[in-house]
Amino acid sequence: MSAPIQALRFFLQARLSRRIVLWVFASILLIEAIILLPSIYRRQQELLNNLSALSMARVEGALAAMRLSQPMQLGSPDFLAQIRLLAPSDVVRGGALYRLTGEQMDSFGEPPQLTFEQAQRQTAMRYDWQTRRYDAAWTLKALDGQYVLIIRHDSSSVQRELLAFVGRIMGLVMIISVFVTIVTLIGLERILIMPILLLRNDLLKAGQALPQEGDPPPPQFDSLKRQSQDELGEVIAAFEQMYHQISEAIAERRQVESELRQSEEKFSKAFRGSPSAVLISALESGRIIEVNDSFLQLYGSDLDAVVGRTAKDLNLWATATSRDQMLQQIRQSGSVRNLEYTFRNRQGEPRSILFSAETIWLDGEECLVSVANDITERKQAEKALERLAEIGELAAMIVHEVRNPLTTVMMGLRSFESLDLSERSRLRLDLATAEAERLQRLLNEILQYARCQALQASELEINALIAEMLESLQAMPAAAGRQIAFTPIQPVRLLADRDKLKQVLINLIGNACEAVSVGETITWRLKLDAALRQLCIEIQNGGEPIPAEVLAQLTMPFFTTKSSGNGLGLAIVKQIVDAHKGQLEIHSSAEIGGTCVRVILPCLA
């Protein structure tokens, strides 16, 4: 099929083109009909007048000739009979003669439908389309103005000629209409219809392209290729602009929806996985809308037993006045932060909570997002710590009270050393002196542990400090027969309390020496993390690994595995390391070949 025929077929299938063409065709026909009707009427009058005039002229001429040869009396039957004979029989079908007074003198043939009164009212003719009869009043000279003659004519020839005339006019109108319609078709196809059809197809393409996910390439719009500098061209340009605007709006909406979904997902995960009890409830009624697992665990029930019920139904608040006070503050400031209240669980047990809440709107209803942190155990621990603090203060006071008489006792015992005592008495004196000194050391350590570790920090270099301590450490009784191997590194400077740091190192080296047999080596290493500005002091010894249950309690006060120990050494070490904002780590296993203690301290740049 050729391109023009295909374009014409495609064009004729368009409803808009058919309507426009039909409207143009009908408009042309209407205009031609409006112009044609007066022409047809005028042509009809001309034919009727010609028909009557020809018949009347023929009769007029014959009567004039007869009157010259044979005079006739007007109004006599012979006069009408003569007219009947003279008139053409195929045209004149009848007639009637009237006096000027309206009196009918005589008639012949078919009686005319035109009356004398109508003729007098200047209705000179009467035409009947159905019967094909035409009545007209003749103005013959032979009547001398004394009579009125009305003749009935047969207008079949007039009707045939008029139909032929109408046919010729209609044919011409159809030719003009078809020509104008074809020209309109061609003009509409190029100027209006084809761009509109292309625009329609582009709209369908845009409709299919816009809902696609991701960032698809824009479709190729055919209407842009036929864009013209007129109103339709402006519409096509506006369509392209609209497509880009809608594409950008959809992209922005998808971005917003994606961010909203991510936000909702984050909120949902935070809501569900929060270790704090979170619930959403209606502000006025207290009806619970949603809770997380932590709330169910706090209250001690399942989801179905909680959602949809009110806080009053669950007997959640220990006192109704607490909720009323909270609601009053919510209405004033819109939120509450970290207020302590008492809740009851399902069993009615009171639970101390730290309560925070804020108002939100959900589906047109003002709601409350509440976060409740169970601090029951913390408050109990705080009370226990307060009790321990009281006990510590009491212990420190007792230590002070015991140290003074103990000093006096030791002075007395030392004074006995100058006396000449028997061997048995000397043995008892030495035993009493050793126990008194051990008691004094215990009291000093208890007092040191009970006090806050106040540091007198100064800048020092760790390699020099350890080198200074090595000789004295090697001379300790616990280090006898053991080797302490230390390898220095680049200079590292710390901000630390020199004496307390020495106390930490002496304690850790002493413990390491006591854990190994004679002849074994204690490895002492330094590791620097320049990026984190941290120094790791690592002391490792062999021997049997420390059991896991013992390892977890080594830094607890008064816990010891030594027969002569008091369990305060490592506890004080941890206090000192913590005061230096450091970390104390103790690892012991067969994989590392014994026990490794790490002291991690911040260092200077």
Chain center to CA of 440:
74
pLDDT of residue 529: 86
For 210-317, where are the alpha helices, taking DSSP H only? Answer: 231-273, 293-299
CATH 1.10.287 residue spans of the chain: 380-450
Q: Mean pLDDT of successive 10-residue segments in the chain (605 residues)?
A: 54 64 78 79 81 77 63 60 71 81 79 81 68 79 73 81 83 81 72 68 67 62 62 67 74 79 76 82 85 84 84 83 84 86 86 88 85 84 70 64 70 76 80 74 64 75 88 84 87 88 86 86 88 88 83 71 65 83 87 88 85
Give yes or no for a contact between 367 and 283, defined as CB atoms under 8 angstroms apart. Answer: yes
Amino acid, res. 466: I
What is the DSSP secondary structure assignment for residue 287, as one 8-state letter? B
Q: CA triplet 557, 558, 560: central angle to 5 degrees?
A: 110
- Cα radius of gyration (the chain): 64
Distance (Å, whole) CA 250 – CA 207: 12
- Give the residue among 466, 459, 582, 458 at the shortest CA–CA distance from 532: 582
Paired with 524 in beta bridges are 486, 539
Tokens of 274: 């929060």
Give yes or no for a contact between 197 and 10, defined as CB atoms under 8 angstroms apart. Answer: yes
- The CATH code of the domain at 458-602 is 3.30.565.10
Summarised one tens digit per residue, pLDDT across range 18-48 is 677 777 778 877 887 787 788 878 887 788 7
- Give the residue among 456, 468, 406 at the shortest CA–CA distance from 433: 406
CATH 3.30.565.10 residue spans of the chain: 458-602
Residues 6+ apart with CB under 8 A from 600: 534, 535, 536, 537, 582, 583, 585
pLDDT of residue 319: 83
Summarised one tens digit per residue, pLDDT across range 283-299 is 888 888 888 888 888 88
pLDDT of residue 488: 87
Q: Kindly give the interhelix angle for 569-579 and 423-450, rounded to the nearest 10 degrees.
A: 30
Fold category of 274-373 in CATH:
Beta-Lactamase (3.30.450)
- Give the residue among 163, 222, 217 at the shortest CA–CA distance from 40: 163
Residues 6+ apart with CB under 8 A from 459: 493, 494, 495, 604
What is residue 525's three-state secondary structure? strand
Chain center to CA of 497:
59
The Cα-based distances of 528 to 347, 462, 488, 581, 604 in angstroms read 56, 11, 11, 16, 11
Paired with 2 in beta bridges are none
Distance (Å, whole) CA 524 – CA 592: 15
- Give the residue among 237, 236, 207 at the shortest CA–CA distance from 219: 207
State the residue for tokens 């809308």: 289
Distance (Å, whole) CA 376 – CA 373: 9
- Give the residue among 282, 280, 279, 283 at the shortest CA–CA distance from 331: 283
For the domain made up of 380-450, the CATH class stated in words is mainly alpha
pLDDT of residue 208: 64
Tokens of 73: 């009396």
What is residue 148's three-state secondary structure? strand
Q: How would you label 292-330 residue by residue, b for 16+ Cβ within 10 Å and e otherwise?
A: bebbbebbebeeeebeebebeebebbbeeebbeebbeeb
Summarised one tens digit per residue, pLDDT across range 201-229 is 777 676 666 666 656 666 666 666 665 66
CATH 3.30.450.20 residue spans of the chain: 274-373
The Cα-based distances of 471 to 461, 465, 484, 501 in angstroms read 17, 11, 10, 17
For 274-358, where are the alpha helices, taking DSSP H only? Answer: 293-299, 320-333
Distance (Å, whole) CA 178 – CA 28: 9
